[in-house]
């Protein structure tokens, strides 16, 4: 590849590369990102790593074969997000689809195509009506053909249903695909079938048999709720290119969430080094984690996938306090400082669990200074309202109206 393959270079140097799937696999979660939003998202994700965005992010822009509009969306991302990230087009394992994918990203910097090839016998029969070995052999031929057509575009191969495929067969073809010019070979748990021990065994066994030149990547679904755990096992086994998706959106139950994976690998460098089993850093440029909440909100608004109170890292519950002891000792009740790492300030929320301290704090935020008796009365009112309405949170408007009837708000000299 002219100019070098930044993703291979990063992975072979022990750096982590995120293969972003929210615009591509996310579409199979019944979401549709406009072309303009894909461009914006790719740029924003690249900015997390500054000038090293193309070394740390592969943005799967879409599946050009879907329709003309999808082809144009992928093309726009390749052209307009050029230099911010490495942009990939995804395609089926046919010569026509590969050439179409090459056309959608060709002529832009750090462009890639990912060819999906079935690895298990069952998937090979369904997708190609061939045995797995024949489908994999065809994958090798497609890589060679793609490199002949445009050697400026990196070619990756995704081994679909790898979790149910023969490890030795995948190892042999990971080596063959790499020899043919593949940048990375992606092992996919297409149906979210694996347990962490299964993922560890798959990546360890295939890596051992694939040769030193092969760069393995992960694409692990979350149907059993184990996408993140399995991805960590892939990293522990030596994979450095890992697929994820903002808010975890992907087919069926989704896949590992980009914001969770990135935060986990970046917020505690010593722990990440222990996981990765290396003294070298995971990043060329340390990610700016304060960008995560804003990007997550963007994706939620575009796709209609909500941020909930229990969504890790970027959910509405992060940084909130509603009970007494956490109010007094907030650091004791959270694994990290949301303000310091994510730029999320603490927020005191009035609920049916409120202590007098919490009631006073919320009242002060609304401009009222309560004495102890008033705080006790306000606490009883808040609890009664919560149970009466069946809603835990007492909103500021209702509490403010109650306080206005209790006493006059504090003026400027108080």
Same domain, 24 and 124: yes
Kindly report the CA angle at 319 between 315 and 324, in degrees rounded to 5? 125
| pLDDT averaged over every residue in the chain | 93
Which domain covers residue 395, as residue numbers?
319-414
pLDDT per residue as tens digits for the range 283-331: 999 999 999 999 999 999 999 999 998 899 998 888 888 887 777 777 7
Alpha-carbon span 26 to 20, nearest angstrom: 10
Same domain, 124 and 269: yes
* 304 located within any domain: no
Kindly report the CA angle at 312 between 309 and 313, in degrees rounded to 5? 110
Same domain, 79 and 211: yes
Same domain, 239 and 373: no
Contact assessment for residue 28 and residue 251, using Cβ atoms and an 8 Å cutoff:
yes
Same domain, 115 and 258: yes
Query: What pLDDT band is residue 279 in, cutting at 50, 70 and 90?
Result: confident
Specify the CATH number for the domain of residue 52: 3.20.20.70
* 176 located within any domain: yes
* Per-position DSSP letters for 334-374, written without gaps between them: -SS-HHHHH----EE--BTT--HHHHHHHHHHTT----HHH
Q: Tally helices (H) and strands (E) across the chain.
A: 18, 10
pLDDT per residue as tens digits for the range 76-129: 999 999 999 999 999 999 999 999 999 999 999 999 999 999 999 999 999 999
Alpha-carbon span 345 to 207, nearest angstrom: 43
Same domain, 258 and 333: no
pLDDT tops 50 at residue 412: no
Alpha-carbon span 410 to 414, nearest angstrom: 6
Q: What is the pLDDT of residue 168?
A: 97
pLDDT tops 80 at residue 37: yes
Last residue of a domain, one of 239, 267, 288: 288
Alpha-carbon span 409 to 368, nearest angstrom: 5
Query: What pLDDT band is residue 153 in, cutting at 50, 70 and 90?
Result: very high
* 111 located within any domain: yes
Helix, strand or coil for residue 39?
helix
Same domain, 223 and 341: no
* 294 located within any domain: no
pTM of the model: 0.90
Same domain, 213 and 122: yes
Contact assessment for residue 64 and residue 88, using Cβ atoms and an 8 Å cutoff:
no
List, in sequence order, every beta strand (DSSP E) within 245-367: 320-321, 347-348
Same domain, 344 and 252: no
- Structurally, the chain folds into a number of domains equal to 2
Same domain, 272 and 367: no
Helix 196-210 with 167-180: angle, nearest 10 deg: 50
* 95 located within any domain: yes
pLDDT tops 80 at residue 30: yes
Same domain, 333 and 391: yes
């Amino acid at each position: 590849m002219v100019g070098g393959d930044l993703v291979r270079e990063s992975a072979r140097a022990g750096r982590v590369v995120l293969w972003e799937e929210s615009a591509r696999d996310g579409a199979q979660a019944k979401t549709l990102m406009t072309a303009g939003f894909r461009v914006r998202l790719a740029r924003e994700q690249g900015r997390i790593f500054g000038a090293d965005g193309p070394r740390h992010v592969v943005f799967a822009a879409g599946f050009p074969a879907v329709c003309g509009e999808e082809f144009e969306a992928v093309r726009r991302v390749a052209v307009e997000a050029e230099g911010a990230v490495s942009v990939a087009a995804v395609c089926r394992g046919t010569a026509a689809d590969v050439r179409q994918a090459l056309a959608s990203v060709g002529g832009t910097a750090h462009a890639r195509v990912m060819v999906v090839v079935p690895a298990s016998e069952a998937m090979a029969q369904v997708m190609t009506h061939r045995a797995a070995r024949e489908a994999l052999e065809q994958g090798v031929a497609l890589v060679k053909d793609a490199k002949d057509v445009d050697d400026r575009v990196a070619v990756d191969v995704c081994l679909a249903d790898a979790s149910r495929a023969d490890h030795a067969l995948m190892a042999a073809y990971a080596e063959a695909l790499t020899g043919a010019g593949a940048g990375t070979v992606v092992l996919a748990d297409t149906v979210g079938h694996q347990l962490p021990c299964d993922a560890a065994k798959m990546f360890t066994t295939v890596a051992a048999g694939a040769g030193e030149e092969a760069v393995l990547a992960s694409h692990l679904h979350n149907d059993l709720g184990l996408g993140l755990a399995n991805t960590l096992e892939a990293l522990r086994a030596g994979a450095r290119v890992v697929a994820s998706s903002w808010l975890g959106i992907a087919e069926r139950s989704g896949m590992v969430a980009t914001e969770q994976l990135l935060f986990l690998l970046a917020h505690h460098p010593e722990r990440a080094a222990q996981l990765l089993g290396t003294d070298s850093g995971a990043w060329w440029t340390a990610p700016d984690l304060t960008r995560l909440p804003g990007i997550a909100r963007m994706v939620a608004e575009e796709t209609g996938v909500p941020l909930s109170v229990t969504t890790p890292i970027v959910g509405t519950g992060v940084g909130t306090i509603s009970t007494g002891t956490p109010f007094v000792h907030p650091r004791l009740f959270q694994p990290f400082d949301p303000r310091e790492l994510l730029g999320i300030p603490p927020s005191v929320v009035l609920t049916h669990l409120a202590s007098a301290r919490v009631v006073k704090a919320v009242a002060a935020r609304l401009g009222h200074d309560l004495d102890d008796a008033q705080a006790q009365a306000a606490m009883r009112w808040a609890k009664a309202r919560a149970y009466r309405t069946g809603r835990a949170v007492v909103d500021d408007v209702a509490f403010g109206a109650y306080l206005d009837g209790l006493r006059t708000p504090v003026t400027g000299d108080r």
